[in-house]
Amino acid sequence: MEFNIVVEPASAWSADAVIFFAFKDSEEYLPGFSVWMASDADWVSGSPALADFEGDLGTTTVIYGSGSSVQRVLLVGLGAEKEFGVEQFSQAVAAAFQKCRELRFRTVGVPLAAFEGIILEDRYEHFVVAAMGGLYSFDLFKSKKDDKIGLPESVRFLSAEELPEHFSEAIARAQAIGMGTAYTRDLVNLPPNVANPVYLAEEARKMAKKYGFKFKQMKRKEIIDKGMGAFASVFRGSVDEPRMIILEYCPKDREGQKPLVVVGKGVTFDTGGISLKPTGFIEDMKCDMAGAAAILGFFQAVGEIKPDLPIVGILPCADNMPDAASTRPGEVVTSFSGKTIEILNTDAEGRLLLCDALAFSAQYEPAAIIDLATLTGACVVALGWNVAAVMDNSLKMRNLVIESGMSVGERFWALPLWDMYKEELKSEVADLKNVGSREGGTIHAGIFLKEFVPESVPWAHLDIAGPAWRKKKTPAGSAGGTGFGVRTLVELTTRLDLEDL
C-alpha cells in the first residue's frame, strides 16, 4: 500500500472513498468535515446515513453520493471525546481500513482537513501505522490465501496547499515503523519448525547486509566456550542449534560513543523443559521469542529511519525442550558473569538466556540497556493482556519508557525492585536461585536479571508477556503476534540522550 501526497482543491478530489472522523454524541462535527460539507459536499449533509451515524469507537458509515468526483464518504467513529487518545485513534483508523478492504476500495483519500480537531501529537504517524496494522494478515501456510484483491493500493493525503517537507518525512518514518511492526508480527506468527534460532540469525544477517549493520552470530560451541552456562542450560535438550545474534548500528558521526544496548529474549519454542508446561499453556509458546522479534523489527525501522545514536542488539535464541540431555531441576550452572545459579524450575528459562546476554553486553560499554521479554505469566496475572511491566535501576530510564510507550499507545506499568525481594532468590548451594515464590513472580524475575546488569549502567527490563500476543482478533487487528515494543523503542531513540542518563 502506497501513501501519496496530492495537492489539489477539494473540488478535484478523486478516490473510491474519502475518510472523515467524528466523535460520539458531539453537537458539532469536526471542523474540517463541517467546512468541507458546506463548501464542496452539500449532498453529504442531506444523507440519511449521516443521520444514522452515532460515532461509537470504531464504527463506520458509508455515505453514497452522486454528481461528485467523490462517490463515497467513509465516516469513522472516534468514541467519546473525553476518553480519546492514541489507542482509540489507532483502533478507529484500523477499523476504517478494514472496512475499505471489505468494500474493495482501491484508492482511499484522506483530507488533511479530516485531522482538524484531533488533538494528538504525531497524529499522521499514528494514522499510517494503524492503517498498516489494520490491514495486516498472516496466511503464509494457508492453502487458500486471504483475499488480497480488496486491499487498498493507494492512500492519498489530500491538501489544497503545498505541504512542508517534514510532512513527507513523517509519513516515510511512519511507514518504516509500520513495516518494522509487521515484520515482528510475521516472525512471531511463524511456526517454530520454521522460525528457529538459525532462521532468526539468517534474517538478521540479511538485514545487516541490506542496511550496513555489523552482524555476528555465536554458535553452540562458542556460547559454551565463552562460559555462558546459564544460556547453555536452556538449549541442552534441543536438536535445533542455538544462536547468540548481535547487530550493531552506528552513525558515522557517533563512532566511539557509548551505545544503547537492546537485549531480546529469543526462546523460539518453550515447552518448559523438564518442568513441562501443561496443556492450555504450551500451544502458543512459539510467541516466546517476541522480545527478540521486536528487536529485529526495531532494527528494520532503524535501517530506514537512521536515528542519531549508536545501537547494539543482542538476541540470545534457543529452544527449551525436554530430552535425556535436558537440564534437570536442582542443577547448578555457572553464568557468564561467574555467578552460580541453582535452577529449580526449567520453565524459568528466559532469565537464564537474558542474564548471560546482559552480562555479555558489558563489553560494549553501554550508555544504557533495555531488555524485552515475554518473561512471566505472573505479569499477565498482575497487569492483564494490554499492559507490560517495566522494572529498572534508573528512574530516568523508567520514565522514558513509560512516556515513550504512552505517546505511541503502548502501556507500561512500573513494578518495584526493592532489596527485600532478594531474599526469595537466596540459594543454599549457589549464589542465587532462578525462581522465588509464586507470589511476586514477575518482580523476582526482575531482581534476578538486575544481578547481571553491568555496574552503574542505567537499565530497564520490559516484561511484555501480555501485550505481545493475542489469542483472538481484536478491533485493532488480527490474532497472533502484535509487534508490541517496536514503536516504543523507535520513540525512545528520539527522546534518549545517552550522555545525560
Instruction: Show pLDDT as tens, one digit a residue, over the chain (501 residues).
Output: 999 999 999 889 889 999 999 999 888 999 999 999 998 888 898 888 998 899 999 999 999 976 667 889 999 999 999 999 999 999 999 999 999 999 999 999 999 999 999 999 999 999 999 999 999 999 999 988 766 667 899 999 999 999 988 999 999 999 999 999 999 999 999 999 999 999 999 999 999 999 999 999 999 999 999 999 999 999 999 999 999 999 999 999 999 999 999 999 999 999 999 999 998 889 999 999 999 999 999 999 999 999 999 999 999 999 999 999 999 999 999 999 999 999 999 999 999 999 999 999 999 999 999 999 999 999 999 999 999 999 999 999 999 999 999 999 999 999 999 999 999 999 999 999 999 999 999 999 999 999 999 999 999 999 999 999 999 888 778 899 999 999 999 999 999 999 888
Cα–Cα dist 276/481, whole Å: 23
What span, in angstroms and rounded, lies between the C-alpha atoms of 195 and 193? Answer: 6
197 plus 48 within the same structural domain? no
Asked which of 160, 190, 216 is the last residue of a domain, the reply is: 160
On whether both 329 and 434 belong to a single domain, the answer is yes
Pairing relationship of beta strands 72-77 and 107-111 according to DSSP bridges? unpaired
Cα distance from N-terminal residue to C-terminal residue, the chain = 40
Count the domains in the chain: 2
Same domain, 431 and 379: yes
CATH code of 180's domain:
3.40.630.10
Beta-sheet pairing, 368-373 with 260-264? parallel
Let me know if residue 168 belongs to a domain: no
Cell match 532468526: residue? 200
* Under 8 Å between Cβ of 50 and 128: no
Asked if residue 234 belongs to a domain, the reply is: yes
Helices 290-305 and 486-495, axial angle in degrees (round to 10): 50
Q: Which class for 165: exposed (0-12), middle (13-18), buried (19 or more C-beta within 10 A)?
A: exposed
Whether 94 and 70 share a structural domain: yes
Phi-psi region of 376 (alpha: psi -120 to 50; beta: other; left: phi over 0): beta
CB 379 within 8 Å of CB 269: no
Per-residue model confidence (pLDDT) at position 67: 61
For the CA atoms of 359, 364, 365, 371, the dihedral, rounded to the nearest 10 degrees, stands at -50
- Please give the pLDDT value at position 27: 85
Cell digits for 299? 532494527
Helix, strand, coil percentages for the chain (3-state, nearest 5): 40, 20, 40
Angle at 313 between CA 310 and CA 316, to 5 degrees: 165
d(Cα 274, Cα 111) in Å, to the nearest integer? 58
- 240 and 123 share one domain: no
- Angle (CA) 474 480 481, round 5°: 105
Which residues does 64 contact at the CB level (< 8 Å), separation at least 6? 47, 49, 71, 72
Residue at 169 is within a domain: no
Cα 340 to its chain centre, rounded Å, is 33
Do 35 and 179 fall within a single domain? no
Note whether 421 and 462 are same-domain residues.
Answer: yes
What contacts 424, CB < 8 A, 6 or more positions away?
433, 436, 437, 440, 444, 447
What are the φ and ψ backbone dihedral angles of 36, each rounded to 5 degrees? -65, -45
Residue 218 in grid coordinates: 555465536
Cα separation, 216 vs 193, in Å, equals 23
Catalytic residue among 24, 351, 433, 487: 351
Catalytic residue, from 106, 220, 254, 277: name it. Answer: 277
Question: What pLDDT is recorded for position 280?
Answer: 86
410 Cβ contact partners less than 8 Å away, ≥ 6 residues apart: 388, 467, 484, 485, 487, 488
**Phi, psi (rounded to 5 degrees) for 191:** -70, 155
Residues 182 and 125 in one domain: no
Alpha-carbon span 119 to 122, nearest angstrom: 9
Q: What is the pLDDT of residue 65?
A: 77
Considering the domain boundaries, does residue 501 fall inside one?
A: no
Three-state secondary-structure class, residue 131:
helix
**Interior/surface letters 212-234, b for 16+ CB within 10 angstroms, e for the rest:** ebebebbebeebbeebbbbbbbb
Q: Is residue 25 part of a domain?
A: yes
Boundary (domain end) residue, out of 160, 186, 202: 160
Q: Is 487 a catalytic residue?
A: no
| 392, 461 Cβ separation under 8 angstroms | yes
Q: How far is CA 191 from CA 53, 66, 143, 157, 288, in A?
A: 42, 49, 16, 37, 12
Q: Looking at the structure, tell me whether residues 104 and 180 fall in a common domain.
A: no
166 falls within a domain: no
In angstroms, the CA 161 to CA 158 distance is: 9
Domain boundaries, position 340 = 174-495
d(CA 336, CA 334): 7
According to DSSP, the residues that pair with 412 across neighbouring strands are 388
CB 371 within 8 A of CB 298: no
340 and 473 together in one domain: yes
Q: Give a yes or no: residue 262 inside a domain.
A: yes
* pLDDT, position 345: 98
Based on the fold, state whether residues 475 and 433 are members of the same structural domain: yes
> For the domain that residue 147 is a member of, what is the CATH number?
3.40.220.10
Q: Kindly state the cell numbers that stand for 142.
A: 494457508
Residue that terminates a domain, selected from 104, 134, 160 = 160
Question: What's the CA gap between 37 and 23, in Å, rounded?
Answer: 17
Q: Please return the burial class of 319, using the count of CB atoms within 10 Å of its CB with bins 0-12, 13-18 and 19+.
A: buried
Kindly state whether residue 165 falls inside one of the protein's structural domains: no
Task: Match 532462521 to its residue by C-alpha cell.
Answer: 199
Task: State the residue for C-alpha cell 552456562.
Answer: 229
Annotation marks residue 277 as catalytic: yes
Same domain, residue pair 180 and 116: no
